[in-house]
Structure 1
Amino acid sequence: MSEIDPSESANAQIAGLNSRRAALRLLDAVLRTGTPLEAALSTATKGLERSEDRAFAHAIAGHVLRRLGDLDQLIDSATAQPLAMDAKARMVLRIALVQALVLKTPAHAVIATCLPLVEGGPKRLVHGVLGTLLRKGATLPDDRGSLPEPVAMRWGSAWGMNVLSAAKQALASPPPTDITLRDAAATQGFCDSLGGNSLAPGHVRLHDNAAIPALEGFASGEWWVQDLAASLPARLLGNSRGGDALDLCAAPGGKTMQLAASGWKVTALDLSEKRMRRLLENLERTSLDAEIVVDDVRKWQTDAQFDAILLDAPCSATGIFRRHPDVLHRVRPKDIATLAELQSELLDRALGWLKPSGKLVYATCSLEPAEGEQQIETFLERHPDVMIDPITADELPAGIPANDRGWVRLLPGMIAEQGGLDGFFIARLKYR
């Protein structure tokens, strides 16, 4: 039988230590291997039995990613020699500072749970840096997060300094939760019962952190979680009385459910069998119907033609940075270029299934012009028989402008007073 290391035995008794270890694993997965935060969550938090502990690890990692640049500035201000960006000591200090400065964890608990994370490493350094910063009253900005420099340069060039400032403000804290209702006529009723407010018919914005499955109407399938921005592409196809709609890259199904609830006969196609199982579960919960196809859009063969096609294309997802700050640290320009090529291929395929009188909506939850404006410009050059079907102001929630080119570009800072919304690009197309 192997001997038990006394330090490991003592560490096992420190309350909350395992949550911090899980947060360390989460950050390592995102920053070192480029794994999405949500994808790493199950493995990183394995062994944490309480949901509260898993949620705390997730919260620590998320706040570190929101404040990474500012955290590193603090750390560098208190070290004689800069720590390597991937040094474990730097990562532990990030975790400790977020707890002390953002989550308001008591200093004694921060120190007790961070030092064991560098067991066998520079404990004295970590303790000294942390103690120095806490004694001198170090703070982080209350009203903004910190964007990685490459992202700030891209977005500043594309959208200007006002949008860049708004993005930093939006990054400071997680956004409110939006839900989409199966029946738009129930909007006011759910605003009243859930204590939310509505920015569009069939939409309710929630402002507390209640557990979603426990809220009225979820189990009975009367609504699903969906950011207001993400609901717009399907809204822009309108209602139908049995018209044929094709939802490409459909999982996990928010837009499929919107289309079905609006009277469309929906074919939902996605490559991921796992994600399509989730779509089926959502359809069952909401008592809505759709034909499910698991296939690759680039290979799928059908003779069918559709009145409406929705392509919410795979993209960098940089527009959902408020909810998933890890995208800011994972996505590189080469990823954006690769995804733009895929989007072009999917758009060309989708057009082949559109009826002459039909409408095609293209959308990406991206703040990169290559996946939005530039994508559509080059598509129209390839297909001179296709034109923009202009989206008008009366089709959009108040405060969201229609672009003079006829498409919609959702940017940080829009409807900020109401809680903001995700970044998106949406264009509606039709044959000339």
Structure 2
Amino acid sequence: MNDQRRPRNRRHTEGDPPGTGTRRAALRLVDAILRRGDPLEIASHAATQGLSPADRAFAIAIASESLRWMTDIDAMIDDATPQQLPEDVKSRAVLRIALAQLLSLNSPAHAVVSTALPLVAGGPRRLVHALLSRAQKEEWRLPPTASLPESVAERWSEQWGDDMIASAEAAWSSAPPIDLSFAAEPQIEGWPDAQSLAPLHLRLPRGHAVESLPGFEEGGWWVQDLAASLAARLLGKGDGRTVLDLCAAPGGKTMQLAAAGWHVTAVDASAKRLERLADNLARTGLQADVKKGDLLHWQPKEQADAILLDAPCSATGIFRRHPDVLHRVEGRNIAEMADLQARLLNRATKWVKPGGTLIYATCSLERAEGEEQIETFLYEHPQWTLSPIRADELPAGITPDEQGQLRTLPHMLAEQGGMDGFFIARLIAPN
């Protein structure tokens, strides 16, 4: 073995231009997402080790924009190469992150090129250099909206129609706003650039540093997409009644319920996510009984007046903020999640008091995890009934479906900044 050979996992190679390590981390991050199916937030821990906070944030931004625009960037690469590059070849991967920097992040061209070439050492450097030079000379431009991956577009078109694809691509192409949920009604006069779309809610334009916003240290609010806040809203005031918040971390719904006067038991299987929940409760001063448990084995000591099951899901509804999800999730993943959801629903039926309420929610845009899940549940549990969600319980511009279930789609509130994709059903236990 050659003693001069550097370790393959070394984060920095002497002589590389400044910033190459950050791009190398972005490359590893995209590879972990596309090849192994790792979520971005999990893959980023390993991929960005050793980077400063600023470089880590930039590596994640490069990876995110590469994934968001990958369908369109791949089309540019294919149009510019006489022989199509294999899907998994390194030169295509390097071109993806380099073109994302040039065309989406507007990074300086010389920095993009100089840091891209070391990433294809031993490979077709001349090809990569030629394509990046051509992109500059011909002033390549991305389309107005980012194209969805073909498999996702086909799946969603079949479920929701072609109009939904256009609204989804528009939503995917712009940074979502910041939604804040409040424990008490905020004074909007103190937030000059905010709009209120519902009680206990303010929406801010993207670009604010959350920790620097008024009242962060005092804990009067927390970040929570408007769609995610609707499930807890539909339980109303607690008046001291008991509720199980299942799959509760990081705690947005737990805090909503506690602020609404419910006696909350928050359960989650992840110790790390429960730490975030505990931190959020400490910052806001709200109270909940926090439990660690796998819901397939854990069970409460007694029944509750209500249950909120925000079930594990494909998370395709939060694609605006997590562009990796549309490249990771396939039909088999959706089927696996739907099976788990059914098992959790069946267990939860035993934990709610007679006549009590069970809210089922998923941040998914897949009917298998929403409408079809509840249709099957009601067929198998005919003694349970659907409690129709009313339009007057929802923010203006959001309406329930004909069955009284709630499905939020990308076109809803588009002029106000849009919202995540969610499904919510409210069920009543038999007496």
Normalising by structure 2, what TM-score? Answer: 0.95
The structural deviation recorded for 1:174 is 2.2
Which of 125, 128, 136 is the aligned partner of 1:123?
Answer: 125
The structural deviation recorded for 1:348 is 1.1
The structural deviation recorded for 1:133 is 2.6
Q: Which residue of 2 aligns with 1:241?
A: 239
Q: Which residue of 2 aligns with 1:10?
A: 15
Q: Which residue of 2 aligns with 1:367?
A: 365
- Say whether residues 1:99 and 2:81 are aligned partners: no
Count how many residue pairs are aligned between Structure 1 and Structure 2.
Answer: 424
Distance in 2 (CA, whole Å) between partners of 1:295 and 1:94 is: 41
The structural deviation recorded for 1:112 is 1.2
Which of 258, 272, 275 is the aligned partner of 1:274?
Answer: 272
**Preserved CA contact (<8 Å) 1:343 1:371:** yes
- Superimposed CA distance per residue, residues 103-159 of structure 1 (whole angstroms, 9 cap, x where no aligned partner): 1122222111111111121101111122223222221112x1121111111100000
**Preserved CA contact (<8 Å) 2:358 2:429:** no
Alpha-carbon distance change, 191 to 393 in structure 1, aligned in 2, over 3 angstroms: farther
Q: Please give the secondary structure, in 1, of the residue aligned with 2:307.
A: strand
**Preserved CA contact (<8 Å) 2:188 2:194:** no
Q: Which residue of 2 aligns with 1:31?
A: 34
The structural deviation recorded for 1:189 is 4.8
**Preserved CA contact (<8 Å) 1:145 1:170:** no
Distance in 1 (CA, whole Å) between partners of 2:14 and 2:57 is: 25
Distance in 2 (CA, whole Å) between partners of 1:242 and 1:80 is: 69
- Superimposed CA distance per residue, residues 190-234 of structure 1 (whole angstroms, 9 cap, x where no aligned partner): 534xx3111111111111312212222112211111100000000
- Which one is further off, 25-34 or 130-139? 130-139
Distance in 2 (CA, whole Å) between partners of 1:303 and 1:293 is: 12
Which of 216, 219, 242 is the aligned partner of 1:218?
Answer: 216
Which of 338, 344, 355 is the aligned partner of 2:342?
Answer: 344
Q: Which residue of 1 aligns with 2:22?
A: 19
Q: Which residue of 2 aligns with 1:153?
A: 154
Alignment of 1:164-175 (within 5 A): 164-175=165-176
The structural deviation recorded for 1:3 is 5.0
Distance in 2 (CA, whole Å) between partners of 1:383 and 1:208 is: 44
The structural deviation recorded for 1:303 is 4.1
- Which one is further off, 374-383 or 269-278? 269-278
Which of 42, 47, 52 is the aligned partner of 2:50?
Answer: 47
Gaps of 5+ in 1: none
Distance in 2 (CA, whole Å) between partners of 1:177 and 1:53 is: 23
Which of 400, 403, 413 is the aligned partner of 1:402?
Answer: 400
Q: Which residue of 2 aligns with 1:305?
A: 303
The structural deviation recorded for 1:398 is 0.7
Distance in 1 (CA, whole Å) between partners of 2:414 and 2:403 is: 24
**Preserved CA contact (<8 Å) 2:313 2:369:** yes
The structural deviation recorded for 1:358 is 1.3
Q: Please give the secondary structure, in 2, of the residue aligned with 1:356.
A: strand
**Preserved CA contact (<8 Å) 1:74 1:133:** no
- Say whether residues 1:418 and 2:421 are aligned partners: no
Distance in 2 (CA, whole Å) between partners of 1:69 and 1:208 is: 25
Off by >4 Å, runs of 4+ in structure 1: 1-5
Q: Which residue of 1 aligns with 2:9?
A: none
Q: Please give the secondary structure, in 1, of the residue aligned with 2:28.
A: helix
Distance in 1 (CA, whole Å) between partners of 2:346 and 2:19 is: 52
Alpha-carbon distance change, 182 to 147 in structure 1, aligned in 2, over 3 angstroms: same
Gaps of 5+ in 2: 7-11
The structural deviation recorded for 1:187 is 4.6
Identity of aligned pairs, percent?
56
Opposite residue 146 of structure 1, the aligned amino acid is S
Q: Which residue of 1 aligns with 2:75?
A: 73
**Preserved CA contact (<8 Å) 1:181 1:187:** no
